[in-house]
Every structure is written in C-alpha cells, then in structure tokens.
Structure 1
Amino acid sequence: MVTATKSPAPETAATDAAEPTARQAAVLDAVLALMQEEGGQLTMTAVARRASCSKETLYKWFGDRDGLLTATVQWQASRVRAGRYDRQKLDASSLRDSLTDFAATWLSVISSPTSIALNRVAITDAASKEGNLGQIVLENGRFAIGARLKPVLEEGRAAGLLAFDDTEAAFRTFFGLVGRDVQIRLLLGDALRLGKAEIARDAAIATDQFLALYGRTDQKPAAA
C-alpha cells in the first residue's frame, strides 16, 4: 500500500460536487473501494493512503469526513441518469427512452458491489446513531435522484403524455416498479446477478408497466 504524501502542486476544489475533477474522482472511488473491503471502518488516513494524497488535501477538498462521504454518495448517485431529450419535441418515444435509460442506470448502480457496500454501511450507521451516513445517503441518493427524475415526469404530463395528480406518488410508483425486491435481496446477501441484458430487459418492462398505469393514449397537450 502506498504511503500518503504531500501533493506536489496545489490542487483546487471542484466547483460542482457532482462533477469532481479526475483526481477527486479517484479519491471518491478509493472511498467506495475501502467501504467494499472494510465496511464502516473508514478514516481520512486510510483514504489518503489508498488515494496517494495527503490528509490536508482531503480536508481542503471535502472539509471533513462527512463532507467526503457526501461527495462519495453524490458521485455514486451521479451515475443514475434521467435521460436526455428536447423538451420542445418530447413525444411518447423519447419519454419512454428517457424513463428506460433512468431505470437501466439505476438498476446498474444499485446492483454494483460498491453500492451494496455503501448501503450496508449506511444502514449500520443509521442503526447505531453514531454517524450521519444514513441521512447523507437519503439526501444525496434517493431524494436527489427523485429530484432529477420528477421534472421528466412533469414534462411528460405537460406534453399530454402522462396523467397524474401527485408527482411524488408517480415517482414512487416508477421507483418501485424498477427496483422491485432487487436492492433488499442484494443487501441481505442474495447471489442475484444482473447482467446488461437482464438490466435492459427489466428496465424496459418497468417502464412499460409505468406507462400502462400513467400513460395517456390520446397524447393531447394538457390543459393550462
């Protein structure tokens, strides 16, 4: 294992926590790797050693351990995309593609060994009430992902493609259709394996189920 050393040149903090520099991303990946290997026994010293940087650099970039954990969760959650589309040309096909893309990336993230390890540590942390990782994961994981997708659902409603009264309820329905029992099974040690083909299939099925519940077949613009 490499001994932590001072950085040879000044390094500045990222301007956006969700878009770290390549060097900062390497540090966040080191945090995820350590969680996977060692669980909740995570120290700034261990991260600095694994990432081959100084603790001073970590404190400069992330503030403290909670700041580092927050950035790590944001980094992991940033892999979940809500899809790209032209809001002026949103139609049934592009809406379905956007929702399917979200579903596939979310399934890929939650089934990864790093996410499983991160969530296990967060659950233990929340139960012990000795740290803030549980709340950090909620705010920067589930809640942040919801904030990312809800505008897509609302754009679909505005375009006359979806019909629902409560955005949060619609999001939770979609979230449930996508996730099913996958995350809890993985957290409890089930040897469930999701390859790209299985993830693509399940994402498409969940999206079609959601559209069957909330899709508007007339596709007329919603009333102002």
Structure 2
Amino acid sequence: MPPNSAAQQDTASEAPSLRQQAVLDAVLALMVEEGDQLTMDAVARRASCSKESLYKWFGDRDGLLTATVQWQASRVHAGRYAVQPLDVATLRESLRDFAATWLEVIASSTSVALNRIAIGHAASGKSNLGGIVLANGRFAIGERVKPVLEAGRAAGILDFEDGETAFRTFFGLVGRDIQIRLLLGDRLDLDTAEIRRDAGRAVDQFLALYGRD
C-alpha cells in the first residue's frame, strides 16, 4: 500500500538524497525513451530499487512525478545573490545566471519529453501532470525570481509597478519562441556559448525596459 500523503509532503519539502536523485533521473530517462508509458514497475526496474522504496519516498505516482518536476526545476538557478545592498553588476549576473540555466533546462531532451507528456495529459484529463509541472516549474521558479526583482527595485536599480508583470516580461524575453519550437519538433542546436549570449541579450533588454538611469 502507498504511504499517506504526509510522507509524500515530507519528500517534497526536502532535498532528495543521492539515491532518490538517481531514481528521478531514471524517471526522466524513461520519459525520453518511452513517453507516456511510465509505470512504477518500470521506474523500479530502471533505478534498481523496489516499488516499496518508491512508495516510501514519494507516496504514489503523482508524488513521484511532482518530485521529478521539482528535481528538474532545481537545475534553474534563481535568486542567487549575496551582496547587500544589491548593486547593478550583481543583479545583472543573477538574472543572467537564471536566464542561462533556464534555457539549458528547457532545451534539454528531458524537459521537452516531460512537457510534451504534461500537455497531452492536460488536454485529455488523463492525470494532473500539467498542473504539477505548472505549480513546481513555472510558478515555483517565478516565486524564486520575483524577490530578486523586488530587491532590485528596493535598491533603486529597477523601476516597475507590479512584480508579476515584470517577471513575465523577463520570462518572455528569455524564452522567446524557443520552448514552443522545441515542443513542436524543431531541432534547435543551442550550445553553451549561444545560450549565454541569449541570456545576456535578454537581461540587457529587460534592464533597458525596467532599469533606472
């Protein structure tokens, strides 16, 4: 029997162990290889662990998917700044770091596979994977980046009225049409240097819109 939701909630609130990380990487690999045909049995075989361990760590299939999305989203660096008060150079580097790591994540084969499955499930009502991806991906990342923008405003570097609107503008400048093109099968060849250039360009455009003189 799967454990209760309290165990699932505890797993979601803690960083996964190295063994759990290996399981989550196995889930992502299976999504790339097999698409929608993901079962607890298949995950247990790929990760060389028991189904009982999966239920103990993640609660149930939705708990496993939630942890997988959180693990993938954790690769995006958001809000990493330590200098107080915040200065322009530190803000610029923090935003560039977020933009580059987010582009790297969404351009990966694992994210493309995960998002394609989530879109299909959202359309068919097969599962709540679409909601899981939104809550633990886009929305969670937004809540981690918006405090950085608010800190920039408090430091007199940025000027905007609404943090959510400012974040959505920045998010759009970074992502442009890249994610939809990847989801539709466009084989974009984004190497590290190009991603860094795109990230820097997006930050420059955002600061041109919202930066104080």
TM-score range for the pair, normalised by the shorter chain length: over 0.9
Structure 1 residue 85, shift from structure 2 partner: 1.7
Partner deviation per Cα, 1:104-126 (whole Å, 9 max, x = no partner): 00000000000000000000010
Structure 2 SS opposite 1:130: coil
Structure 2: state its 5+ residue gaps.
1-8
Q: 1:151 aligns with which of 125, 147, 154?
A: 147
Report if aligned partners of 2:11, 2:58 keep a CA contact under 8 Å in 1.
no
CA–CA distance in structure 2, aligned partners of residues 19 and 206 of structure 1: 30
Normalised by the length of structure 2, the TM-score is 0.93
In the other structure, the counterpart of 2:103 is 107
CA–CA distance in structure 2, aligned partners of residues 34 and 15 of structure 1: 21
In the other structure, the counterpart of 1:8 is none
Structure 2 matches for 1:207-218, cutoff 5 A? Answer: 207-217=203-213
Match for 2:142: what amino acid? G
CA–CA distance in structure 1, aligned partners of residues 29 and 49 of structure 2: 16
Runs of 4+ in 1 over 4 A off after TM superposition: 13-18
TM-aligned CA distance change 1:138 to 1:16, over 3 Å:
closer
Normalised by the length of structure 1, the TM-score is 0.89
CA–CA distance in structure 2, aligned partners of residues 116 and 81 of structure 1: 19
Residue identity over aligned pairs, in percent, reads 75
Match for 1:95: what amino acid? L
Structure 1: state its 5+ residue gaps.
1-12, 218-224
Query: Aligned-pair RMSD on alpha carbons?
Result: 1.3
Q: Which has the higher helix share?
A: 2
TM-aligned CA distance change 1:50 to 1:108, over 3 Å:
same
Report if aligned partners of 1:83, 1:101 keep a CA contact under 8 Å in 2.
no
Structure 2 matches for 1:136-175, cutoff 5 A? Answer: 136-175=132-171
In the other structure, the counterpart of 1:133 is 129
Report if aligned partners of 1:95, 1:156 keep a CA contact under 8 Å in 2.
yes
In the other structure, the counterpart of 1:118 is 114
Structure 1 residue 89, shift from structure 2 partner: 3.1
In the other structure, the counterpart of 1:43 is 39
Give the aligned length.
205
CA–CA distance in structure 1, aligned partners of residues 11 and 27 of structure 2: 20
